[in-house]
């Protein structure tokens, strides 16, 4: 069962990983990212950041889609972490059971506008967020469980 789908450019990191896993009772984290799935150094670093007692799985977007749709992940209290809005858009197009996304962090880059403390979006990302919204996917900006969430559609207007 998917407890949370989160977009965070840092992927898995200390305080947030521990806060979310504890709050949700997560026992498995799936990092869905094409580049990380091929990078042994990044995979090693992410394994070190994984909370004790939590299983970490790192797969490409395509392999993640297959795993989520096959039911093999249903036995876990699962947190899915994506690096970008683009990855979230691609995943949600192929995994119809995902209806809610937590937007935790998107890094600042040239040409992006800030919509919250830790979220910066480009025009392309705004278009993708609008497309997800049109498909019935709710995206909430929320860094940690204790924060009050904000609907991304209210922030990008």
What local confidence, expressed as pLDDT, does residue 24 receive?
A: 96
- Strands (E) located in 55-136: 55-59, 78-82, 100-105, 113-116, 119-121
Nearest CA-CA partner of 89 in 103, 107, 77, 79: 103
What local confidence, expressed as pLDDT, does residue 14 receive?
A: 79
- φ, ψ of residue 55 to 5 degrees: the values are -80, 140
Tell me which of 13, 77, 113, 142 is the catalytic residue: 13
- Parse the chain into domains and list their residue ranges: 2-155
Residues of the chain where predicted confidence (pLDDT) is lower than 50:
none
| Catalytic status, residue 77 | no
- Strands (E) located in the chain: 2-8, 28-32, 55-59, 78-82, 100-105, 113-116, 119-121, 138-141, 150-151
pTM listed for this prediction: 0.96
Q: Does domain 2-155 have CATH number 3.60.20.10?
A: no
């Amino acid at each position: 069962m998917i407890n949370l789908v989160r977009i965070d450019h840092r992927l898995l990191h200390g305080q947030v990983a521990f806060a979310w896993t504890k709050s949700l009772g997560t026992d498995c984290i799936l990092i869905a990212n094409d580049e990380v799935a091929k990078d042994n150094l990044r995979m090693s670093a992410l394994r070190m950041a994984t909370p004790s007692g939590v299983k970490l799985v790192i797969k490409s977007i395509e392999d993640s889609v297959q795993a989520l749709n096959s039911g093999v992940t249903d036995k876990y209290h699962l947190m899915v972490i994506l690096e970008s809005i683009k990855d979230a858009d691609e995943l949600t197009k192929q995994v119809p059971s995902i209806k809610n996304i937590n937007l935790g962090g998107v890094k600042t880059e040239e040409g992006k506008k800030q919509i919250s403390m830790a979220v910066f979006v480009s025009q392309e990302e705004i278009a993708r967020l609008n497309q997800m919204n049109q498909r019935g996917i709710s995206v909430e900006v929320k860094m940690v469980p204790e924060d009050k969430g904000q609907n991304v559609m209210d922030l990008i207007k």
